[in-house]
Amino acid sequence: MRTKHTFSTFFWLQTTRAINEEALLYVRITVDGKRVNISLKKRVPITLWDKKKKKAKGSSPLARQINSYIEEVNTKLFQIYQDLKYQDQLITAKLIKAIYNGEEQNSKSLKDIFDYHSEKIKDTLAPGSIRNYGITQNYIFRFLEEKKHSTDIHLNKLNFEFLSQFELFLTKVWPTGHPKALSNNTRMKHIQRLRKVVTLAYHLEWIDRDPFIKWKMSYDKTTREFLSELELKNLEEKVFLSERLDRVRDLFVFSCYTGISYIDIMSLTPDNVVLNINGGNWIMTKRQKTNATVKVPLLDQALSIINKYKNHPITNISGSLLPVITNEKLNAYLKEVANHVEIHKNLTFHMARHTFATTVTLSNGVPIETVSKLLGHSKIATTQIYARVLEHKISDDMNTLQNILRNKKSDNNSKAKRNN
């Protein structure tokens, strides 16, 4: 804890906003080179102000009243500084201002909780999740600067109106390089992250109420694309003359039959392939996103791709299980793959995970609980996002039902004939 600080006050008039030749009186507090301004809500005639002495000129009753008030404010600010020093607290100009304005000494700001949250998640969340929180934080403080003309806000000033205004601000955000403004679901994600951070402040008892308790999230329903059984079959059987596209196809198909995400596939090594108690080959790894352990039995299609690259120069040099390629290049090359196979969908690598959940497992009767475990989800609700009831599955199920009903009817007719 620092024991020595520099502290000073500076009184001045905001003459640029004068009304009837009177300007608002301000005091600037500076602690260790960092400063804040406080509006004292008092107007002073500009002609009465001595810029050099930082007080009112002369000895008129008004001048004496103004100077007495300045002395009173200065004394109070210095006393706050001395009290904090005596209590051995971390002294900041912002804290002195908060106390002077009648707020609690332990009052925290939005920046304080974001700093605390950033420290909390730096070793627990995946880099992608941490980056997303950073983007949300940038939008929030951009909103404060552009709409609130401030660099920070006290947590006890947050309310439903603040969140509504922030949502409105996000509707007009157009990220650099993006073809359109933020979608509704993306806006909701940013608000969801803000809520999580503010809820953390509530649990830490930095605020005595949840300012957003009445807020309701409103997501638009979206359709997550996946490959049909026929599209997946055509992709597997396609012969590519380009080794580059052949490798990209193999990585995609491997994910279609394992459900393993791009980032986790790129970190796989031969050591991640293990034998289970029945002698079958499994992939055992941890999801980088959640640190959850994932155990996936290797289907023949996935195992053949592993064997294809077992002694390949690319994997021998890198020590990886499969060829390593950047996510940007992989998704770019997938567009070429889609064109060659005549897949008229926006083929991205994450679509392979959707395909595993929908076409490969759920539509073939694998229980959703098993699929959830294979995907490394901690909640069934997360897996249900991927769940699709395909037309052929509905047809098969209804045919089964039709047969059951026909058999029952036939049995009932047989019993009726015997009884007669």
Q: Is the confidence at residue 388, as pLDDT, over 60? A: no
Place of tokens 């005091």: 27
Give the SS3 label for residue 296: strand
The percent of residues in the chain predicted with pLDDT above 70, rounded, is: 93
For 209-226, the pLDDT digits (tens) are: 888 888 888 887 766 789
**pLDDT of the residue at 94:** 85
The percent of residues in the chain predicted with pLDDT above 90, rounded, is: 52
Q: Are 109 and 155 in contact (CB under 8 A)?
A: yes
CATH H-level, domain 229-388: superfamily: Intergrase catalytic core (1.10.443.10)
Q: Are 201 and 155 in contact (CB under 8 A)?
A: yes
**pLDDT of the residue at 154:** 85
Q: Taking residues 155-166, report their average pLDDT.
A: 89
Beta strands 273-275 and 55-56: pairing type? Answer: unpaired
Q: Are 78 and 29 in contact (CB under 8 A)?
A: no
**pLDDT of the residue at 2:** 46
Beta strands 281-286 and 293-297: pairing type? Answer: antiparallel
Q: Are 227 and 355 in contact (CB under 8 A)?
A: yes
Q: Taking residues 266-273, report their average pLDDT.
A: 93
Q: Is the confidence at residue 228, as pLDDT, over 80? A: yes
For 280-312, the pLDDT digits (tens) are: 899 999 887 777 788 899 999 999 999 999 989
**Cβ neighbours of residue 153 under 8 Å, at least 6 residues apart?**
109, 110, 144, 162
Q: Taking residues 24-51, report their average pLDDT.
A: 92
- What do you get for the CA distance between the two ends of the chain, in Å? 99
**pLDDT of the residue at 391:** 54
**pLDDT of the residue at 1:** 42
Tell which residue, 165, 167, 107, has the closest CA to residue 136.
167
The Cα–Cα gap between 74 and 248 comes to: 70
Delimit the domains of the chain by residue range. Answer: 7-100, 110-203, 229-388, 394-420
Residue type, 8: S
Token pair recorded at residue 114: 């974001």
- Tell me, yes or no, if the pTM score tops 0.75: no
- Answer left, alpha or beta for residue 182, where phi above 0 means left and psi between -120 and 50 means alpha: beta
